[in-house]
Amino acid sequence: MRRPSFTSLASCSESKNSVLMVHREGFRALLSVRACCFLFFSFLIRARRAFPQNQTCHSKDLNALLGFGNELDLAKLGHPILVGSGNLASFDLTSNDFYGSIDAGICNSSAKIRILRLSENGFYGDLPRGLKSCSSVTELWLSMNDLGGDLPDALFDMTSMTQLFLQGNQISGNLSTNTSNLSNLVEIDLSFNGFSGLIPDVFGGLAKLEYFSAQSNKLVGNLPSSLSKLSSLRVLNLNNNSLSGEINLNCTAMPKLSTLDLGSNSFSGPIPDLLPHCVQLETLNLARNNLTGEIPDSFKNFTSLSDLSLAGNHFSNISSALQILQYCPKLTSLVLTRNFHGGEMMAADGIRGFRKMELLVVANCALTGSIPSWLANLTRLKVLDISWNRFSGSIPTWLGNLDNLFYLDLSNNSLGGQLPKSLAQMKSLVSGNKSLQAGSEKNLPFFVKRNPSRKGLQYNQISSLPPSLILSHNLLVGQILPGFGKLADLHVLDLSWNNLSGNIPAEMSGMTSLEILELSHNNLTGTIPSSLTSLSFLSKFDVAYNNLVGRVPAGGQFLTFSNLDFEGNPELCGLFLSPCESPANREDNTTGMATLKPKNKNRSAIVSLFIGIGVGIVTIIVGAVVYRVLVKSHSGSVMYC
């Protein structure tokens, strides 16, 4: 098929607006009119289709595209220059491989340009200083490039701008006080750059601002007081900076705020009592700060709150916290990890709320006592992590009866007894059950979980968590449940560092989605079932330090494992371990011993007697010779055998 040339481009009648979009899979130009017709142009580097040539094109628009074609070097995919594009209103190069510096005169060709999208390319160098020609631009997208330097003054002359996206670059320097000139801003994202210094107190001039994100920079100091003047603000994300002081926000003046993310900073003091006055606040992340005190009683009135993370602070009185938070009727995700380090107990009773809870994480809090029974009422629970505490007693049977639970982490506690059979009957882990995906697509910007390699993984959605049963580092006894083989949707099973005994059930080959099987440091006996080689997704298998015997199965994923995964089992052989004794030799030896007749036995005994006498005589002679040599040498040396 012939590649379409720029001279063969066609369009429709005269237009007052034009849009040029260039996409990774090809180059596409769309010339639009108010109510007439439009042209779809697809220009692929490997041409996929011929372009219609039976239409006429407006001369100015054609000149714009011809100029673009003449200046674009397809071999290098550098920076395109537009020529004669006086009607151009939108220029979109998103998600391509363009590179180089951005031409300061990119807007010179058209006084009508409103939308400029250069995101997700390889542009580098400083932001262009000569952006005055782009004064009519309302949307500027430069995110996900390699741009550096600081913010040029000309940027703040673009007073028509409503959307500014600079996230994912290497831009540095202080945030300018001239930002207040951009009074029409609705959305601004400065995340994942190198901005430093204070956040300027300029928000009084940004009355239309609805979205402000500057996460993962190097910002310091207190929250500017003018933030509370943003009555239209919906999202405020300042996560992962070095901000400090108390959290002083007047939520009464911020009625539309729905997401507040101040995690991973150095804020101190108590949680503000007035936060529930943000009547539309759904997501609140205050994790990894230096906040102290107890959860304020006013949180009982937090009727809009859905997702709350307070992990990594210095809060106290978990019983009070749970008694208060149970009154949040919409609460679905609660993370309280690394708080309450006084050896406290979770409330044993009096908790009747949390009926919409889907994710509950209270890990590494040094909590004592048994697993509280009120958790059995959380019928919507999908994720429960109470690891790294001091819980004792047995694992409750009702945990396996929570129909939606697919991620359970009870590791690093002092739980004993046998594995309850209900864990092998969990409905959410049986093949074909889709309950764990239902309603789990909401973003969770604050949940970080460590995998077996100790690397921190952030899970943005509940459904992105791997279905898991993690019961390691406890005092569990008894046998591994053969019924685990029915959990075909289980991805991770970790029973390591317990006192489990008996055989590894061959039925475990039924866990067809299994990726990680950890059974090390137990008292398991018998052989490793060869049926486990059928687990095609198994990437980690560890049975080290048990009492297993026999040949390690060779095949499937077992060929990818290390000898470290089998060490501490002296009777195991094959694969990466010592060679197994030949079955033929073992059979010959056994058969020979079993078929000795009495006559042969007597003959064998006589032969053995003469051999013994001969060995004794030789030993005496050799000993005498050695003694004489030693006496003659007078060496006086001591010999160690």
The model's pLDDT over 389-442, given as tens digits with 9 standing for 90+, comes to 999 999 999 999 999 999 999 999 999 999 999 999 999 999 655 444 454 455
Rounded to whole angstroms, how far apart are CA atoms 416 and 82? 72
Cα-Cα-Cα-Cα dihedral sign, residues 2, 81, 173, 235: negative
> What is the structure's pLDDT at 491?
96
| Helix extents (H) in 72-227 | none
Q: Say which CATH class 406-583 falls into.
A: alpha beta
- Asked if the model's pLDDT at residue 387 lies above 70, the reply is yes
Beta pairing partners, 18? 88
Give the torsion sign (CA, 501, 384, 537, 558). negative
pLDDT at 105: 76
Name 627's Cβ contacts closer than 8 Å, sequence gap at least 6: none
- Lowest-confidence range among 274-288, 298-312, 366-380, 623-637? 623-637
Say which range, 195-204, 231-240, 629-638, has the weakest mean pLDDT.
Answer: 629-638
Residue 452 pLDDT exceeds 90: no
Whether residue 3 is predicted with pLDDT greater than 80 in this model: the reply is no
Bridge partners (DSSP) listed for residue 147? 125
Vertex 251: Cα angle to 249 and 253 (nearest 5): 105
C-alpha–C-alpha distance, residues 39 and 28, integer Å: 10
Cross-strand bridge partners of residue 218: 196
DSSP string covering 592-618, please? HHHT--HHHHHHHHHHHHHHHHHHHHH
User: How many CA atoms within 13 Å lie on the side-chain side of 46?
Assistant: 1
Q: What is the pLDDT of residues 110-139, one digit of tens each?
A: 778 899 999 999 999 998 877 777 888 999
Token output for 399: 């945990």
pLDDT, tens digit (0-9, with 9 covering 90-100), for 299-315: 999 999 999 999 999 99
Q: Which of 278, 269, 289, 282 is nearest to 249 (CA)?
A: 278
Q: For position 459, what pLDDT does the model report?
A: 59
Q: Where are the beta strands (DSSP E) in 44-171?
A: 88-92, 99-100, 115-117, 122-126, 139-141, 146-148, 163-165
In the predicted model, is pLDDT for residue 50 greater than 50? no
Q: Mean pLDDT across the chain, nearest whole number?
A: 80
Name the residue with tokens 């996900």.
144
Torsion from C-alpha of 613, 617, 622, 623, nearest 10 degrees: 90
Structure tokens of 1? Answer: 């098929």
Query: Lowest-confidence range among 2-6, 78-82, 410-414?
Result: 2-6
Q: Compute the average pLDDT of residues 25-44.
A: 33
The answer, yes or no, to whether residue 629 has pLDDT greater than 50, is no
Higher pLDDT, 15 or 353: 353
pLDDT at 350: 83
**SS3 label, residue 533:** helix
Q: Which strand (E) or helix (H) includes residue 219?
A: strand 218-221
The whole-model pTM stands at 0.80
Residue 256 has pLDDT above 90, yes or no: yes
Positive/negative CA dihedral, 289, 295, 296, 299: positive
Would you state the pLDDT for residue 135? Answer: 84
Q: What pLDDT digit, counting tens, does each position of 500-532 carry?
A: 999 999 999 999 999 999 999 999 999 999 999
